[in-house]
Structure 1
Amino acid sequence: MNTASIVSKVWSFCTTLRDDGVGYGDYLEQLTYLIFLKMADEYTKPPYNRDVGIPAEYNWQSLKSKKGAELEGHYITLLRELSTKKGMLGQIFTKSQNKIQDPAKLFRLIDMIDGTEWVTMGADTKGDIYEGLLEKNAEDTKSGAGQYFTPRSLIKAMVECVRPEPGKTIADPACGTGGFFLTAYDFITNPDNSALDKDQKAFLKHETFSGNEIVANTRRLCLMNMFLHNIGEIDGESVVSPNDALVADEGKRFDYVLANPPFGKKSSMSFTNEEGEQDREDLTYNRQDFWATTSNKQLNFVQHIRTMLKTTGRAAVVVPDNVLFEGGAGETIRRKLLENTDLHTILRLPTGIFYANGVKANVIFFDNREASPNPWTKEVWYYDYRTNIHHTLKKKPLRFEDLAEFIDCYNPHNRHERKATWDEEKNPEGRWRKFTYEALMARDKTSLDLFWLKDKSLTDLENLPEPDELAEEIIENLEAGLNSFREVLSGLGNAS
């Protein structure tokens, strides 16, 4: 069976289940459990003959042999039992539940998965099927899954700039469904970038990647996504930890950190108050290795990512605008980042590219350095891909090609030989220019929130976007404003 027919089959069955109220997310979960079990079954047979740790009474054959109510009851028991196992097996089945209430449809799904040899299928094919489902799930705005899914075109551009090398480690402290890992894997395995020897291939499969994801369902999807792309072993340890990365420094240091930490400014926890009502409380991480103590989750992730890096380590991180301009702890952290790392590049992103609405974000690129009495950052290069840029998720999504000029300007092969496209007289509309360390440190609150291009929508009425694009952009800006107001209100509530 070819790739197209498998994808078609997988999608058509999802549509069937949606009629029963099973959303993309629930469907993805059930697919994850069942494909994992089918692959485990294939690994127990020649030429592999492996014991993958699944008891015979809960293996794939035990599911195939049952129908109706007996199948439903057995499936529920199977999920519960496998969730108690160690390693990747236990992580895949953590908090697992049966969301397919019709045993006949469960049987049909099992039969569909049984008709494919998953282990021998190419990693690209398996990965494409699963990544397609993940993206479809992210588009389903009601599920909220979009907050764990970074546009793959943006990830690819970030990876192209960082150019990870074989034999080096890559981490993501909030890895979602694993987009950064898989794109880095694709880059390293691309023959145009690297010719891998046997040891490098083994290192890539078993030792390169390390992540954290606290949401069980998302962590499950990430592990399965990586496994289908040939990262890790079916009977091995999980490379994605369920721990909150911000709580403590685990002591591991990495060559690269690629991340898009979760949107939402405050770290908080839910609890039941004295009146028996659900309440929330800001979480402040008191860590000796942090430059400043704050409940701002984004600022904490920036600090944490810096601690994760080797002294030669490099990072590319998506951050919201508040990280660039917020005072107090924000100013302290920006100053320390400029002094203690080489913060060399900032990419300003447009609205309309993330599944989480109302987000104004940037990518900051910085290289860690050893301790020094002198600041490491000499100049910061900015690429403004926000002013006069219009994207929408459906009609005009961000494509990798849209960031091609930025990648060229970044000059990944030798970023020390860069040329500005902006010139006050010759090219005032150039999107690429640099600012010196001294100029940035002299700004109010050391704000890195910089723009220089004129907004044409204020003056050029002839070239306005289409009405629907304009409406979507207005909605994005309103939602961004509302999010900011909510954060202000939250701060006022805590102050009182």
Structure 2
Amino acid sequence: MLTGEIRNKVDKIWTDLWAGGITNPLTVIEQLTYLMFIRTLDEKDIETESMEALTGESMSKIFPLNEEGQSMRWSNFKTKDARIIFDTIKDNVFPFIKTISNDKTSAFTRYMEDAIFLIPTPQVLEKIITGLDELYEHEIQDLDMQGDLYEYMLGKLATAGQNGQFRTPKHIRDLMVQLMKPTPDDTVCDPACGTAGFLVSTAEYVRDEFGASMTTEQWDQFATKLVSGFDTDRTMLRLSAMNLMLHSISNPDIDYVDSVSKQNNISNKYSLILANPPFTGTIDATSIHDNLKTVCDTKKTELLFVALFLRMLKTGGRCAAIVPDGVLFGTTKAHKSLRKEIVENHKLEAIISMPSGVFKPYAGVSTAIIIFTKTDVGGTDHVWFYDMKADGYSLDDKRSAIQDNDIPDIIARFHNLEAEQERKAAEQSFMVEKSAIVDNDYDLSINRYKEIVYEKIEYDAPEVILDRLSELDKQIASKMDELRGLLK
């Protein structure tokens, strides 16, 4: 977690950009991301040079070895005069990073083509470089802290509501990844990827859990094919590509696609989908892909995306997605047909109800995580329900860290579902038989099945209560008489 001091320093950098005339939060984070990326490229070359010194073998580097190439490295220009730094980045470094990928068709190359360097003056740029360098050298040296820094900046972006989507908090994304346990051999997709949060969490998990034992082929898969993402906002795609490259995904499969439209024909491709698709939106009915309408004929994006997940998964593929509560209990024909499709023709495994404060301060919507496996032949027998009451943060707009946290319990119980069979519906987690779900018209709301236990409270007899009130009246009258005596 970032300390208050680090947050203040980030806020200072943010303020310097605002004072320089860049007031759009999306633009601020985009420009900061460029500079973070430039610094990281230099760090990668420094690591390569260290390896060369250890092994004695020459290795390929990012920056050209000539004088101009070396002048573009962060460590070489950061102490120069502000004007020299500004000209170096604007005229040399920025054009260089736009063409850094050897693959001219790569996501990074495509989405960097229309990137613009917008920092207005040498003085503003010098302040930002000094501030970032201080953070990286003294405050956020390890990768986890760098990730926290990026998350903090993304939080500012989401709070401002610039992209019209809900940014999923990192601890919720990490929860979903730990529930699904992706492996190096998985192909993971987020069809509404935003800034690639789920894909980054996936990459971090795979690297941490399997990095020491992965083969060369698996590392190649990790760098190119492990994760894929789609979005309809080119700025988001640009941030996604850089975010993934900063996490060792050298050639991310990120594409400009309206996922639920006729533009997207992908089916039976991915082994895992992790997503938080757009909520409460509608789109033009004529643009919706026909095979999604066969599952649920609707214009509501939250339903269309779940139908899309079923189509894009290969048989045996798994999905963990965040959906608004309305998807679980909505009474329209489209809502019911989608839930019936999952329960009857695939394997619905779990519904994890989350408190409405999870997305505060920028949204108070109630949501749940739905987990299922695509089978095309059914397989739902029991569905596991969990009533999350706390996620480690307060549920108000401040979202301060607190002790109460159900996430470790959720992970432990999900990976030991056999032990959940005997739990009662009055407990925080429990199993529900498929027959009960069918009888309830495929309603998947946890409140439909949760048993509420009312505690019996015994009250005193009315005569006792009246006697107690009379005694209180006498005490009040006595005190009033004392007060009157003081006034005489």
1:127 to 147, 170, 191: 147
Name the structure 1 match of 2:445: 449
Supply the distance in 1 between the matched residues of 2:91 and 2:288 (Cα, whole angstroms). 39
Name the structure 1 match of 2:430: 433
The one-letter amino acid paired with 2:312 is M
Q: Quick one: structure 1 residues 103 and 382, their matched pair in 2 at CA, closer, same or farther if it must change by over 3 Å? A: same
Name the structure 2 match of 1:466: none
The one-letter amino acid paired with 2:16 is T
The one-letter amino acid paired with 1:418 is E
Percent identical among aligned pairs is 26
Number of equivalences: 423
1:150 to 156, 168, 171: 168
Q: Quick one: structure 1 residues 417 and 130, their matched pair in 2 at CA, closer, same or farther if it must change by over 3 Å? A: same
Name the structure 2 match of 1:350: 355
1:177 to 189, 195, 209: 195
Shift of 1:211: 1.0
**Over the residues paired in the alignment, what is the CA RMSD in angstroms?**
4.2
Name the structure 2 match of 1:239: 253
Query: Residue deviations 1:128-149, cap 9 Å, x none?
Result: 43233223433xx334358342
TM-score, normalized by length of structure 1? 0.71
Supply the distance in 2 between the matched residues of 1:11 and 1:209 (Cα, whole angstroms). 32
The one-letter amino acid paired with 2:336 is E
Q: Contact (CA 8 Å) 1:253, 1:309: kept in 2 or not?
A: yes
Supply the distance in 2 between the matched residues of 1:408 and 1:416 (Cα, whole angstroms). 12
Give the structure with the larger helix fraction. 2
Greater length-normalized contact order (CA 8 Å, ≥ 6 residues apart): 1
Name the structure 2 match of 1:307: 311
Q: Quick one: structure 1 residues 78 and 163, their matched pair in 2 at CA, closer, same or farther if it must change by over 3 Å? A: closer
Supply the distance in 2 between the matched residues of 1:130 and 1:209 (Cα, whole angstroms). 19
Name the structure 2 match of 1:474: none
Larger displacement relative to structure 2 (343-352 or 94-103): 94-103
1:219 to 237, 240, 243: 237
The one-letter amino acid paired with 1:352 is G
- Which runs of 5 or more structure 1 residues have no equivalent in the other structure? 269-280, 460-496
Shift of 1:90: 2.7
The one-letter amino acid paired with 2:203 is Y
Name the structure 2 match of 1:15: 15
Supply the distance in 1 between the matched residues of 2:292 and 2:211 (Cα, whole angstroms). 39
1:80-479 correspondence runs (5 A): 86-110=105-129, 123-124=143-144, 126-138=146-158, 141-144=159-162, 147-191=165-209, 195-199=212-216, 200-230=218-248, 232-233=249-250, 237-247=251-261, 248-251=264-267, 253-268=269-284, 284-287=288-291, 290-326=294-330, 327-355=332-360, 356-369=362-375, 371-372=376-377, 375-385=378-388, 391-396=395-400, 401-410=405-414, 412=415, 414-423=416-425, 428=426, 430-444=427-441, 446-451=442-447, 452=450, 454=452
Report the 3-state secondary structure (helix = DSSP H, G, I; strand = E; otherwise coil) of the residue aligned with 1:353.
helix
Shift of 1:50: 4.3
Q: Contact (CA 8 Å) 1:148, 1:176: kept in 2 or not?
A: no
TM-score, normalized by length of structure 2? 0.72
Supply the distance in 1 between the matched residues of 2:359 and 2:345 (Cα, whole angstroms). 31
Shift of 1:170: 1.3
Shift of 1:293: 2.7
The one-letter amino acid paired with 1:33 is Y
Report the 3-state secondary structure (helix = DSSP H, G, I; strand = E; otherwise coil) of the residue aligned with 2:185.
coil
Shift of 1:257: 0.9
Q: Contact (CA 8 Å) 1:350, 1:361: kept in 2 or not?
A: yes
The one-letter amino acid paired with 1:438 is S
Name the structure 2 match of 1:476: none
Of structures 1 and 2, the larger Rg is shown by 2
Query: Residue deviations 1:191-243, cap 9 Å, x none?
Result: 5x77523333333233211111221222222222222222x22xxx4421111
Supply the distance in 2 between the matched residues of 1:190 and 1:74 (Cα, whole angstroms). 34
